[in-house]
């Protein structure tokens, strides 16, 4: 039997039992003790904490996310660290009381839909064996099965459906050439009727439902998924009082998806929702009679042209790191404070070794 140890989390004073083959973050989240986290795989450093007492195995923490000198100083990443004795850690816990904490649990999911929705992009819909509680914007871990002599691995994808749909969950997955979870699984043999082991919910990129400010949501690629969850929850379930504007960025129309859905949503909620699909590599001439329904140029250029100031607003940014960084600068340039901008970048597994240390989700 695997030995367990007691993890004491300060400044909460909470005690959690953690197996030696289990990460400290996993044990805490499954016990309903919230710790800051994003990637859950040792890349982003969001969960970095201090070891006050005890011994840990740091596991697969990236040397960029947890430097050697930080290990020597008693730092750890709870998402990869495993206990080797009773451990006391001190974490920077800043809990938003408006966001409910749902303990992480394991589920069996059955694939009920796998449909191509855009270039190299599919909609994956699964039915869980029981209901799950989550906040709009959170994600699940999928266990990619062992294959071709390679062990099973975890990959994470954001939930695109609202929390009120607690068993049938939607995900958007883009193919990554050579990717173990995408090219080698979702696009390489996964089929309707297959069962998948999943766990969750994870993540801190969530809709603040108690807010009533104008929210500017910016999504690139499948970074649209958590934003769709937020929008559906806000509008269809009446969970947000302020106006919401969605900027969906893509290179060309073949990379865009769910355009008709968002246009219908804007028609249903004209006083509360504005939809702006943006194309960076097509012009008005390319779109002909449809030109008036798109913004042209980088999504940041469209935002800048649309707003003289965004003072008093909030922002939600999700997608490839360059887009997120550019959007962050644009919103700040329009007088939006960093504390009011929530963001999540999507990286590939290869970024773990390249020094891209702020990865919220491993997508590959």
Tens of pLDDT, residues 6-35: 999 998 899 999 999 999 999 999 998 988
Alpha helices in the chain (DSSP H): 24-30, 68-72, 224-236, 259-268, 284-287, 299-306, 321-333
Nearest Cα neighbor of 360 from 39, 31, 111 is 39
At residue 364, the pLDDT reads: 37
At residue 360, the pLDDT reads: 41
pLDDT over 80 (residue 105): yes
User: Can you tell me the mean pLDDT for 206-213?
Assistant: 90
**Cα–chain-centroid distance for residue 56?**
27
Strands (E), 159-259: 168-174, 195-202, 215-220, 244-250
User: What topology does CATH give the domain 215-355?
Assistant: Rossmann fold (3.40.50)
The predicted-structure confidence for 231-289, as pLDDT tens digits, reads as follows 999 999 999 999 999 999 999 999 999 999 999 999 999 999 999 999 999 999 999 99
The predicted-structure confidence for 52-77, as pLDDT tens digits, reads as follows 999 999 998 888 889 988 998 999 99
Instruction: Give this prediction's pTM.
Output: 0.89
At residue 242, the pLDDT reads: 94
Q: Cα-atom radius of gyration of the chain, to the nearest Å?
A: 21
At residue 136, the pLDDT reads: 96
The predicted-structure confidence for 324-356, as pLDDT tens digits, reads as follows 999 999 999 999 999 999 998 876 655 544 544
Q: Which H, E and C letters describe 296-320, residue by residue? A: ECCHHHHHHHHCCCCCCCEEEEEEC
The full set of domain ranges for the chain reads 4-90, 105-202, 215-355
**Residue 320 — left, alpha, or beta (φ > 0 → left; ψ -120 to 50 → alpha)?**
beta
* Domain boundaries 4-90, CATH class: alpha beta
User: What topology does CATH give the domain 105-202?
Assistant: Elongation Factor Tu (Ef-tu); domain 3 (2.40.30)
The predicted-structure confidence for 152-185, as pLDDT tens digits, reads as follows 899 999 999 999 999 999 999 999 998 999 999 9
């Amino acid at each position: 039997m695997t030995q367990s140890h007691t993890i004491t989390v300060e400044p909460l004073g909470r005690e959690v039992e953690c197996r030696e083959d289990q990460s400290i973050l996993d044990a805490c989240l499954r016990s309903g003790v919230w710790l800051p986290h994003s990637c859950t795989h040792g890349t982003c450093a969001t969960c970095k904490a201090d070891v006050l007492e005890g011994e840990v195995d740091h596991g697969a923490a990236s040397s960029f996310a947890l430097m050697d000198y930080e290990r020597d100083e008693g730092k750890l990443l709870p998402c990869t660290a495993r206990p080797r004795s009773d451990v006391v850690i001190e974490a920077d816990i800043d809990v938003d009381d408006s966001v409910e904490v749902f303990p992480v649990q394991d589920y069996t999911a059955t694939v009920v839909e796998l449909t191509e929705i855009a270039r190299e992009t599919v909609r994956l819909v699964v039915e869980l064996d029981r209901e799950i509680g989550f906040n709009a914007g959170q994600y699940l871990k999928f266990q990619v099965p062992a294959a071709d002599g390679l062990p099973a691995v975890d990959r994470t994808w954001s939930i695109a459906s609202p929390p009120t749909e607690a068993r049938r969950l939607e995900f958007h997955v883009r193919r990554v050439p050579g990717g173990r979870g995408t090219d080698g699984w979702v696009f390489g043999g996964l089929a309707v009727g297959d069962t998948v082991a999943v766990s969750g919910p994870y993540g801190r990129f969530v809709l603040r439902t108690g807010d009533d400010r104008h929210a500017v949501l910016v999504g690139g690629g499948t970074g649209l998924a958590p934003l769709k969850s937020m929008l559906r929850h806000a509008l269809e379930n009446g969970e947000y009082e302020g106006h919401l504007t969605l900027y969906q960025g893509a290179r060309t129309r073949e990379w865009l998806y769910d355009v008709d859905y968002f246009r219908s949503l804007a028609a249903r909620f004209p006083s509360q929702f504005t939809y702006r699909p943006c194309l960076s590599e097509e012009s008005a001439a390319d779109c002909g009679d449809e030109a008036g329904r798109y913004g042209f140029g980088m999504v940041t250029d469209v935002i800048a042209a649309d707003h003289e100031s965004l003072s008093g607003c909030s922002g939600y940014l999700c997608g490839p790191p360059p887009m997120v960084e550019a959007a962050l600068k644009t919103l700040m340039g329009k007088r939006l404070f960093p504390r009011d901008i929530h963001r999540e970048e999507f990286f590939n597994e290869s970024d773990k070794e390249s020094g891209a240390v702020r990865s919220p989700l491993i997508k590959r």
